[in-house]
Amino acid sequence: MTNWLRKKTLFHTPRKAIVVEKKSDRFWFLRIIGIMVKRACTVMGAIMLIMMAVIFWSASNIVKEEPPKLPNQIVLFLRMEKSLPDKRGAQDYFSQFGLAPAPLTAAELVDALDKAATDNRVKGFVLSLRSGGYELAQLQEIRNAVLKFKKSGKFTKVYAPSYGEAGSGLGMYYLASSFDEIWMQPVGVVSIAGLNAEMPYFKDILERYGVKGQFFQRKEYKSAMENLTANEMSPASRQMMTELIGDLGDQVTAGVASDRKKVSKNFRSLVDQGLFTDDEALKAGLIDRLDYGDVLLSEIRVQLDGKEDSKKTGFTDIADYAQLSAKTHSSKSKVAVVYVQGAIMDGGGASPLSFDEKSADATEIAQAIRDAASDKNVSHIIVRVNSPGGSPSASESIRRAIVWAKEKKKKPVIVSMGSTAASGGYWISANADKIYADAATLTGSIGVVGGKFDASGLFEKYGVNWDGVSYGKNAGMWAMNRGFNAAEQERFEATLDNVYEHFIRIVAQGRKLKADQVEKIAKGRVWTGRQAKEVGLVDQIGGLDMVLDDIAKSRNVDSRHKLAVVDYPPPENPLEALLDMAKRGSPFGAELPQSLKAVAAYLPFLENERLVYTPLPQL
């Protein structure tokens, strides 16, 4: 009995150990392939289910909504925290599903204010500003639109907790000075401490770790890599930056002095003082009112409706107003707009749902220009450039497409420069029929720079030895474990000379100048748009709205709003974007069912515009 109890209980009976015979491992690779296929099928199934859910969910939600109506009295409202995009990005797709607010581009804001100036329902415009990153050239375009809106006799008010609390707010204040009234929350500050351009220089610290920068430039003003090969600014770089900052500062100071009469005589001295408390700013005339956002909105209610709690006036987000007041096209012919945003590269375009818009796919852009040129209904092509440059070969692909559109298809091509159109950005612009830029656009930089890092000292310092074989005398010229030898450096610098000479010829041909004239204004020097016009690199100072105004005049159309302006390539609807994302991210994406693509084609017919306005927006 005792032995039995030792081995068994009421709840457990020991079992004999089971010996499992080990299977042969000859077909291990088949099991791995099977697992991979299974996981791939799971992922594809999930993608298909998600896309189908999106289709039915979006269709059911979109179809149910009815077109909204604007109130009889409108106060346009915008909360602005940073520069607006030049073109719509990923947020546009999400907004069509109701997952994000409708995006607003800078051009849409300018157009909306232009239309609102003649819309009797619109009584005024309120802008709520927050400290953020603002591009001065874009602020000039918005500022000009506000000044034009003011001429219609409608009120403009701007509000901010502070003007530059986290740093210099000179750009914010530059925009604010175009409004009738400048409001600030109590305890806020006005920081207008001028413009500052500086960068760290890494030569000594790199050499301390055994790394040297071997970069070569054409020519003295092309200082992009200077902070890696020197300890301080070169005389040429210092001269260029001093004149750039000086011209930008003069533009801001002159604009504020012209439109803000309270500080017109002493604004320059106020900039030198820099930072002001709330009471100091009010006393200096920098602001008109120290109070809260809810007070501003209540006063507008009383001004328009006679009482604070009236709902007669609707505060309408200007993004919604821009969408609802769609363009009425009186002309059959179209104006194509092709955007070049970010560093110009060959291929490798990002997914349409990607938030990374820092690179411009030269292949896609060149094709868009050719497509627009081949469309018999397109009368003009606008290339909107906002790029610091990039690959010379990629830039040449875009430039060639512009030349082809002009010469083969006889289409006028106009460049509209955004905040930056330098180096490769100017390369692609040079052959346009006409070049427009904002006064604060940064352009030019006709030059080239390139090289590599030599980390041989770093490897030696930490006992890393390299060994290998090669075929060709210069096969290892791009290696980072050693510097260029004399033959390799000669070859590399020959390529830089070749690019620079091509650049000079391209600008001379496009701008109808002699090569020696171009050389004087080239050498890698960056110019403001205003300076660039003086030296012959730009034809006209103005934004995209001015380009369209001039095209409308040339076609005897009484308003740019009556032009049919179309983006090339045409934007995808959300389902097409999801399909594109799936194709880029899946090895089986190219085989996605055509039936889903057919469904995608019907989505535009299900879409409906939507407007949300609130009696009291949040300032």
Mean pLDDT by 10 residues, the chain (619 residues): 47 52 56 70 67 57 55 91 81 52 85 95 95 92 97 96 87 96 96 91 93 93 92 95 96 96 94 95 97 94 82 84 73 88 79 57 96 96 96 96 97 97 96 98 95 93 92 90 92 94 97 96 96 98 97 92 90 57 46 42 35 46
Alpha-carbon distance of 337 to 382, in angstroms, equals 5
Q: If phi over 0 gives left and psi between -120 and 50 gives alpha, with beta otherwise, what is residue 390?
A: left
Task: Answer yes or no: is 432 within a domain.
Answer: yes
| Catalytic option among 123, 157, 222, 334 | 222
Mean pLDDT, the chain, rounded, equals: 84
**What residues form DSSP beta bridges with 315?**
75, 614
C-alpha distances in Å from residue 191, one per residue of 164, 168, 188, 515: 5, 5, 10, 45
Specify the DSSP class assigned to residue 83.
Answer: P
Q: How many domains does the chain divide into?
A: 2
Task: Answer yes or no: is 298 within a domain.
Answer: no
Is the Cβ–Cβ distance between 429 and 387 less than 8 Å? no
Residue 134's φ and ψ, nearest 5 degrees, are: -120, 135
| Catalytic option among 128, 419, 423, 429 | 423
How confident is the model at residue 39, as a pLDDT? Answer: 72
Alpha-carbon distance of 354 to 556, in angstroms, equals 40
CA proximity to 385, closest of 414, 432, 417:
417
423 is a catalytic site residue: yes
How confident is the model at residue 580, as a pLDDT? Answer: 56
How confident is the model at residue 331, as a pLDDT? Answer: 60
Task: Answer yes or no: is 168 within a domain.
Answer: no
Query: DSSP of 26-59, one letter per residue?
Result: TTHHHHHHHHHHHHHHHHHHHHHHHHHHHHHHHH
How confident is the model at residue 203, as a pLDDT? Answer: 93
Is the Cβ–Cβ distance between 380 and 411 less than 8 Å? yes
How confident is the model at residue 352, as a pLDDT? Answer: 46
Alpha-carbon distance of 2 to 306, in angstroms, equals 100
How confident is the model at residue 22, as a pLDDT? Answer: 52
Alpha helices in 274-382 (DSSP H): 278-284, 293-305, 318-324, 362-374
Q: Domain boundary residue among 10, 44, 66?
A: 66
Task: Answer yes or no: is 541 within a domain.
Answer: yes
Residue 474, SS3 per DSSP: coil
Which residue type occupies 494?
A
End-to-end CA distance of the chain: 86
Q: Give every CB contact of residue 374 below 8 A, 6+ residues apart in sequence.
A: 409
How confident is the model at residue 566, as a pLDDT? Answer: 93
**What residues form DSSP beta bridges with 335?**
380, 565
How confident is the model at residue 36, as a pLDDT? Answer: 73
Alpha-carbon distance of 499 to 215, in angstroms, equals 15
Alpha-carbon distance of 135 to 171, in angstroms, equals 8
Helix (H) or strand (E) holding 550: helix 544-554
Which residue type occupies 219?
K
Environment class of 135 (CB within 10 Å of its CB; exposed 0-12, middle 13-18, buried 19+): buried
Specify the DSSP class assigned to residue 477.
Answer: T
> What's the farthest any 2 CA atoms get from each other in the chain?
115
How confident is the model at residue 103, as a pLDDT? Answer: 76
Residue 526's φ and ψ, nearest 5 degrees, are: -95, 140
pLDDT tens figures, 423-469: 999 999 999 999 999 999 999 999 999 999 999 999 999 999 999 99
Helix (H) or strand (E) holding 447: none
Task: Answer yes or no: is 362 within a domain.
Answer: yes
Alpha-carbon distance of 143 to 156, in angstroms, equals 12
Tokens 């559109």 sit at which residue? 405
Alpha-carbon distance of 279 to 574, in angstroms, equals 50
Task: Answer yes or no: is 560 within a domain.
Answer: yes
Q: Is the dihedral of CA 24, 26, 31, 34 positive or negative?
A: negative
Planar angle of CA 66, 68, 73, nearest 5 degrees: 165
Total count of residues recorded for the chain: 619
Is the Cβ–Cβ distance between 105 and 145 less than 8 Å? no
Task: Answer yes or no: is 193 within a domain.
Answer: no
Q: Give every CB contact of residue 81 below 8 A, 6+ residues apart in sequence.
A: 130, 132
Q: If phi over 0 gives left and psi between -120 and 50 gives alpha, with beta otherwise, what is residue 440?
A: alpha
Please report how the helices 544-554 and 106-116 are oriented relative to each other, as an axis angle in degrees rounded to 10: 60
CA proximity to 105, closest of 399, 372, 339:
339
Which residue type occupies 356?
D
Range of the domain at 352: 328-447+485-571
How confident is the model at residue 56, as a pLDDT? Answer: 55
Claim: this prediction has a pTM higher than 0.75? yes
Specify the DSSP class assigned to residue 101.
Answer: P
376 is a catalytic site residue: no
Task: Answer yes or no: is 472 within a domain.
Answer: no
Alpha-carbon distance of 300 to 289, in angstroms, equals 14
Alpha helices in 375-521 (DSSP H): 392-407, 424-427, 456-461, 486-511, 515-521
Is the Cβ–Cβ distance between 309 and 356 less than 8 Å? no
Is the Cβ–Cβ distance between 198 and 175 less than 8 Å? no
CATH number at residue 497: 3.90.226.10
